[in-house]
Structure formats: C-alpha cells, structure tokens
Amino acid sequence: HLDASGQLVFPGFIDPHVHSRDPGATHKETFHHSTLGALCGGTTTVLEMPNAVPAVTDVATFERRRAEHGEKAWVDFGLWGMALGPANLNEIIGLHRAGAVAVKFFWGYALDRRTKGLVYDFSAAPPDSLLLPPENGEVLEMFREVASYGGVLAAHCEDRHILARSAELLGHPISTYDDLLAARPAAAEATSIAVGAQFARLTGCRFHVVHMASAEGTRVVREARAAGVPITAETCPHYLTLTDRDAARLGPAIKVYPPVRTGADQEALWAAIGDGVISSIGSDHAPHLVEEKMLGFGQAPAGGLGVETLAPLMVDAMVRGRLSPVRLAQVLSSSTAALYGLWPRKGAVRPGADADLTLVDPSGGHSISHDRMHALNPVTAWDGWTLRGRVTTAVLGGEVAMRDGEPVGGRRGRFVAADHARSRG
C-alpha cells in the first residue's frame, strides 16, 4: 500500500555517473554498496562507469560485467563502455549493440596495458606499460565511428597537455587547494570541450560532456549548442553545492577531478541548468579508502561519495527554489533517460514505462551523516548538512523498494540495455 498524500511523485531518478570499483578495487566500494546507497537515497537506476579493472573496453568484458552486476544490483543498472582510440575502435560498435548507454573517453588519462585499469597520474609511471590517450586525429576518428552507428560519445574533458604544462609551471608539488586549481585550470576543460564540439560539428556525432565544472566550459557548450552542434552536458552536486572556499574546512575530502571551482563557476552551472545547456545531473560517485582521502591535497586520490546524496541534495535545491519540480524530473530522470537511450522504459510515467517512481515530501527534512551512509567507505563531503525536503519512498518495477532511507524487500535490480534507435524514433 502506497500513500502519496502531500508528496511529489517523480519518475524514478537515474544516476548516470557511478564508479562502483567492482571488480578491481572492492576494498573501496562494491556494486552491492553503491546500488544499495542509490536505492536508499531515492535513485532507481544507475549507469555504471567503465573504469573498473579490467575496464569495459570490449564486448566480452561488457557481458561479464553485466552478469556479475546482475547478482548484486539493488536498483536497475545500465553499463557504459570505454573508448580508447585506435586500440579498441573496432569494439565500440559491438559495445553499442550490446546495449551500452554510451562510450566514454577519458581525455586526460592513460590505461595500464597490464591490468587494464585507468591511470590518473601517469607522469611518474613507466611509459612502456601505458596506453596514452589518443591524439586529436585519432579522437576525430572515434567521433566518426560513433557517428556511423548513431551512438553517444561522452568525455571526461581535461586536456592532458594543459594539465602537464600547468603542473610543471607550478614549480613545486601540490600542497594547497590553490595549487590543485593552478595545476588543473578551467582552460584544460574548456579546450577539450571546444575540440570535441568541433568534432561533433564535423561528424554529426552526439557528444556529451560529463561532470562539467567550469563557467568557461559552460560557455563553450552554450555557444556550440546555439550553432546547432549536437553537444550536451552533465554536472554534479559537488559543483553545484561546494566551492573552493569549502576546501579549508573539508580538506582533501573535496578533491575530485575536475576540481570544484569558484562561486562564479557554480553560478554559471546553475544558469546552464536553467536554460537547458546542462540537461543531466550525475553524482560521479567515486569512492576511495577513508585513509587515502586524508593524505593531503597532493597525494589523496580524486573522487568522493555521491550516489546516496544525489537526490537529497537536488531535492533540497528544488525546495529552495533553485530549480522547479519539472526541471528536477528532467535533469534526474526524463532528459537523462532520453540521452542514454533508456526512453521510453525509464524516465516516464506513462504506458511503456516500467513503474519506477521516487516520492518526495517537500515539507520534510533530511540530515546527512557518515554513519547513516550505505557506502563501504562512508566519508562524505556533506556530513552534518541539514537539507530541506525528504525523499521518502522509491518504487522499483511497481513495488515499494525503499522507505525512509532503508530497503524494503530484497534486491530486485535488473540490467537495462540502451536502445538508441528506439529512443530517438
């Protein structure tokens, strides 16, 4: 029995940006923990990023991941593929046919050939074990390939040459948050976005910018869209709720790539949500060990928790008037579903949808604390925050699956294949 009196009923929220570390780094997080966190936070579908170890660079790995995750999923899930450039150009159409929601290209990162894991900081690594990110000519080739089958190419946008030179110019190791911002300037993001926009215009390939963090990047996307380029963008709650001024208080808990920037950047992102330049919000859930996150701004790995706080933080923003309920439904569900080929099954409350719902009490409240999180390493940037509005209930496939932050019944998550042809038709 479901009583929704006084509540807002949303199409089930989708988190399109989750790194569950499973397999490969299950001491940091597992698919069990991340999907349980998703459910308890009011998210009914997650799209799992391809950079577990081994990374999802071919169809065989995709199928294995699909089977393994199917056993652990508390919510429905889709899978990303990874695009490496020439090294797996002939695999990406297969990933698309297998139902990958999109392929992601990590502009500034290398791949370890041995482990098939992503290497974030490869300045010190032995070059012969690394597959470096492709040159721009090879990136253009990737755009052509993805365009040929009508898929979506998404990218982590930070130009690696700008990152390398900026770190060099800094002249000393990163020790403060200002150092970190100097080593990863907004120009690195905006440059990659601008190159991607050019390639999208040339090839007609749909290009999606994940976790956009800067006003500069936002401006490039807005101009390209105005010129008719098929480019879309995502941002994340940390860019919308934190700024560099929180770094002193939070320490390396705030460290994420691309970095959280200034209040002016944050305002530009909110404006872009308002005018449609940003059409999807994901958490970039990217857990690490608690001890690792205390290593300092230079040494701590980048990434933090997000999947369980995505909906509560965005609901709070809605109650405070930052975005309307309809806009919230779009950026957390219907636009995201359309973008990743999950339409019409997800993101719609209508015939053909599969009855995933998220219920919100706008007059309720919610407080975030480490000890109530379901993550394996529960350290969150929002510990101690008191939010307005409350996600009360999640319905998965027509059945109540979560009430008041705890699961109801067993796990019932299922794999969802993207179908881009149907989505666009």
Of residues 295 and 349, the one with the C-beta less far from ligand DOR:
295
Peptide bond into 23 cis (omega under 30): yes
Q: Is residue 156 within the footprint of Zn ion (CB under 5 A)?
A: yes
Q: What is the nearest approach in angstroms of ligand DOR to the Cβ of residue 348?
A: 30
Helix, strand, or coil (residue 333): helix
Alpha-carbon span 311 to 309, nearest angstrom? 6
Residue from 11, 185, 303, 341 touching ligand DOR (CB under 6 A): that is: 303
Alpha-carbon span 196 to 328, nearest angstrom? 27
Q: What is the nearest approach in angstroms of Zn ion to the Cβ of residue 188?
A: 13
Q: What is the nearest approach in angstroms of ligand DOR to the Cβ of residue 256?
A: 4
Of residues 31 and 343, the one with the C-beta less far from Zn ion:
31
In the region spanning residues 274 to 293, those forming contacts with Zn ion, defined by CB under 5 A, are 284
Of residues 112 and 223, the one with the C-beta less far from ligand DOR:
112
Q: What is the nearest approach in angstroms of ligand DOR to the Cβ of residue 155?
A: 10
Give me the amino acid identity at 336.
Answer: T
Residue 141 contacts residue 105 (beta carbons within 8 Å):
no
Residue from 79, 286, 300, 373 touching ligand DOR (CB under 6 A): that is: 286
Binding mask 246-265 for ligand DOR (x = CB under 6 A): ----------xx--------
Count of residues that bind ligand DOR according to CB under 6 A: 8
Task: Kindly give the pairing relationship between strand 152-156 and strand 130-131.
Answer: unpaired
Alpha-carbon span 121 to 137, nearest angstrom? 23
Give me the amino acid identity at 301.
Answer: P
Which of Zn ion, ligand DOR, none is residue 280 near (CB under 5 to 8 Å by kind)?
none
Which of Zn ion, ligand DOR, none is residue 51 near (CB under 5 to 8 Å by kind)?
ligand DOR
Which of ligand DOR, Zn ion, none is residue 177 near (CB under 5 to 8 Å by kind)?
none
Q: Is residue 48 within the footprint of Zn ion (CB under 5 A)?
A: no
Percent of the chain that is helix, strand, coil (3-state, to 5): 40, 20, 40
105-118: burial string, b at 16+ Cβ within 10 Å, e else: bbbbbbbbeeebbb
Q: At what angle do helices 215-226 and 186-203 cross, to 10 degrees?
A: 20
Q: Is residue 19 within the footprint of ligand DOR (CB under 6 A)?
A: yes
Alpha-carbon span 202 to 96, nearest angstrom? 21
Residue 19 contacts residue 286 (beta carbons within 8 Å):
yes
Which of ligand DOR, Zn ion, none is residue 303 near (CB under 5 to 8 Å by kind)?
ligand DOR
Alpha-carbon span 317 to 410, nearest angstrom? 31
Q: Among all residues, whose Cβ is closest to Zn ion?
A: 156
Token output for 241: 């709720």
Of residues 132 and 400, the one with the C-beta less far from ligand DOR:
132
Q: Is residue 51 within the footprint of ligand DOR (CB under 6 A)?
A: yes
Of residues 51 and 57, the one with the C-beta less far from ligand DOR:
51
Residue from 302, 314, 331, 357 touching ligand DOR (CB under 6 A): that is: 302
* DSSP 8-state secondary structure symbol assigned to residue 304: B
Which of ligand DOR, Zn ion, none is residue 302 near (CB under 5 to 8 Å by kind)?
ligand DOR
Of residues 19 and 293, the one with the C-beta less far from ligand DOR:
19
Q: What is the nearest approach in angstroms of ligand DOR to the Cβ of residue 303?
A: 3
Token output for 343: 């339409």
Q: What is the nearest approach in angstroms of ligand DOR to the Cβ of residue 49?
A: 7
Q: Which of 107, 269, 318 is nearest to 196 (CA)?
A: 107
Alpha-carbon span 125 to 129, nearest angstrom? 8
Could you tell me the strand order of the sheet in which 386-396 lies?
8-11, 357-367, 386-396, 399-403, 406-407
* DSSP 8-state secondary structure symbol assigned to residue 48: E
Q: What is the nearest approach in angstroms of ligand DOR to the Cβ of residue 419?
A: 27
Which of Zn ion, ligand DOR, none is residue 77 near (CB under 5 to 8 Å by kind)?
none
Residue from 156, 208, 293, 390 touching ligand DOR (CB under 6 A): that is: 156
In the region spanning residues 194 to 223, those forming contacts with ligand DOR, defined by CB under 6 A, are none
Residue 12 contacts residue 44 (beta carbons within 8 Å):
yes
Q: What is the nearest approach in angstroms of ligand DOR to the Cβ of residue 226?
A: 28
Q: Among all residues, whose Cβ is closest to ligand DOR?
A: 303
CB atoms within 10 A of CB 135: 11
CB atoms within 10 A of CB 378: 18
List residues binding Zn ion (CB under 5 A).
156, 284
List residues binding ligand DOR (CB under 6 A).
19, 51, 156, 256-257, 286, 302-303
